[in-house]
Amino acid sequence: MNGTTFLGMPAFPRAARDALGDAQLRRNLAEATRTIRDKRAEAVGELPDWEELREAGRVLKEHTLRHLDRYLLQFEERVTAAGGTVHWARDAAEANRIVADLVRRTGRSEVVKVKSMATQETGLNTALEQAGVRAYETDLAELIVQLGQDRPSHILVPAIHRNRAEIREIFRREMGTGAVGDDPADTDALGDDPHELAEAARRHLREKFLRAEVGICGANFLVAETGTVVVAESEGNGRMCVSLPETLICLAGIEKVVPRWQDLEVFLQLLPRSATGERMNPYTSTWTGTADRDGPREFHVVLLDGGRTATLADPIGRQALNCIRCSACLNVCPVYERVGGHAYGSVYPGPIGAILGPQLRGTASAVDRSLPYASTLCGACYEVCPVKINIPEVLVHLRARVVDDSRRRPLPRLEGLAMAVARWALSSPRRLAGAQRMAAAAARLLRRDRPIRRLPGPLAGWTDARDLPVPAPESFRTWWRRTHP
């Protein structure tokens, strides 16, 4: 398994068990998610019209998705008119090929990158490496992941699973390698103060920015009426990537388009407050085509489908495409907080990952089949989502898809049998009463008057840590019949 792919991931419960045993990870995650959760709650609490804003965001997204074809063509037309080029990619492989070709045409073998989920999704860095191109991540957290040959575990803070001490170790190891501009002596003395770490990263990156001729970015939004690419980030590195190089290539999913410039008013309020708990996004770069003597000479936008059109066809599942990648749902998710992002086996972890992955990639793999079940349906994600994606609703919908697929398999599964028996017993009050009598008799036979402490097979998952009450000697309905003749 290389640094950025998740091939051959085990199903969620297995991966989660390993993660749950990692004390350092548990602590890092609990601290980080709590801090960011509190910040978000405060920033959102300030706005009296937050609910109206969420509704506006949802309506805008829904409208755009309904007319996606129109807005995408409009976007292409405006980009072209502004001197840029739009490329269409059916899937990850095609997107990567297009980007690699564009880089190759510049004759360069290095690119600087703004943090982008779409390029993570397609595994662009690996594809570029195979094409002989070195990609430098310039977002601090993304750089930590790249240098640590690690995988991202959060949408916004891909290195959230690392603490300061671990980051310092990665920097010491990877920056002091004698590469141009690095001074091993400096990194040896490196402390774990956040400012010191940021400064080390800054120095490590500066010279790469100045040397870079090609920049690669994603997009938070693509504005159809102007042909503008909008990149929101916090560090300013993204601003450098989109403005310094000669060539700028943007890779973005087709669902990132918004109709009008004015729509940004809604999203640029929703995004920073949900994502980092800030009132305003620190660096919002908007780029439209090319201009003489200013910024990139060449401007390309690669629009990625990658399972999005198929997702759009599902009336319940399609709301997942509303997502503006704020990660608020990850930060409030009690499951994510405990197991972290890697167990989700995808660059999209947490609640949004659990509904996006199985839709974009399908449910062929074990991990994708298990993701819709990686939730208690507690609804905390839906409550915070700035574009009101009803994640529990989609999860349950995808569970039905997984079950319906399994019905087609020749061998019935234990769970399917149990559900069929339960349905049979529950389909009439007589049968239910019969089942209750049998359960009570079994309890009597085993002379159980205490909670059950051990059960066999799959039920052991319950009794490993929890007692189970025995069925009541007299069910409610029997009592009612007896007392209400």
Residues that bind other proteins (CB under 8 A): 12-13, 16-17, 20, 334-335, 338-339, 372-380, 382-383, 396, 399-404, 415-416, 419-420, 422-423, 426-429, 432, 435-436, 439, 448-451, 453, 458-459, 461-462, 464-477, 479-481, 484
**Binding at 41: pick from other proteins, ligand SF4, none (beta carbon under 5-8 Å per type):** none
Compute the least distance from the CB of residue 360 to other proteins, in Å: 19
Nearest Cα residue to 282 out of 159, 168, 139: 139
* Interface pick for ligand SF4 out of 231, 323, 339, 394 (rule CB under 6 A): 323
**Binding at 479: pick from other proteins, ligand SF4, none (beta carbon under 5-8 Å per type):** other proteins
Considering beta carbons, is residue 342 or 401 the nearer one to other proteins?
Answer: 401
Lookup: tokens for 116: 């982008």
**Binding at 401: pick from other proteins, ligand SF4, none (beta carbon under 5-8 Å per type):** other proteins
Euclidean distance between CA atoms 83 and 78, whole angstroms = 9
Which amino acid is it at 347?
A: V
DSSP 399: H
Contact set for ligand SF4, span 274-293 (CB under 6 A): 274
258 binds ligand SF4 per the rule CB under 6 A: no
Q: Which residues pair with 300 in a beta bridge?
A: 85, 249
Helix H or strand E segment including 426:
helix 414-426
Considering beta carbons, is residue 248 or 330 the nearer one to ligand SF4?
Answer: 330
116 binds ligand SF4 per the rule CB under 6 A: no
Helix H or strand E segment including 217:
strand 214-217
Nearest Cα residue to 380 out of 29, 47, 31, 33: 33
Length of the chain: 485
61 binds ligand SF4 per the rule CB under 6 A: no
Would the CA dihedral through 460, 466, 471, 476 be positive or negative? negative
Compute the least distance from the CB of residue 253 to ligand SF4, in Å: 12
Euclidean distance between CA atoms 264 and 320, whole angstroms = 19
Site string for ligand SF4, 375-414 (x = CB under 6 A): ---------xxxx-x-------------------------
324 binds ligand SF4 per the rule CB under 6 A: yes
Contact set for ligand SF4, span 346-375 (CB under 6 A): 352
Compute the least distance from the CB of residue 128 to ligand SF4, in Å: 26
* Residue recorded with tokens 């039905």: 400
Q: Are strands 221-223 and 110-113 parallel, antiparallel or unpaired?
A: unpaired
**Binding at 352: pick from ligand SF4, other proteins, none (beta carbon under 5-8 Å per type):** ligand SF4
Lookup: tokens for 298: 């060449």
The dihedrals phi and psi of 165, each to the nearest 5 degrees, come to: -65, -40
Which amino acid is it at 274?
A: S
* Interface pick for ligand SF4 out of 326, 335, 343, 398 (rule CB under 6 A): 326
329 binds ligand SF4 per the rule CB under 6 A: yes
Residue 112, CA distances (Å) to 137, 179, 433 in order: 6, 16, 68
* Interface pick for ligand SF4 out of 44, 252, 321, 328 (rule CB under 6 A): 328
Considering beta carbons, is residue 274 or 311 the nearer one to ligand SF4?
Answer: 274
* Residue recorded with tokens 């495409």: 321
The widest CA-to-CA distance across the chain, in whole angstroms, is 92
**Binding at 224: pick from ligand SF4, other proteins, none (beta carbon under 5-8 Å per type):** none
**Binding at 323: pick from other proteins, ligand SF4, none (beta carbon under 5-8 Å per type):** ligand SF4
CB 84 within 8 A of CB 289: yes
Rule CB under 6 A: which residues touch ligand SF4?
274, 323-329, 352, 384-387, 389
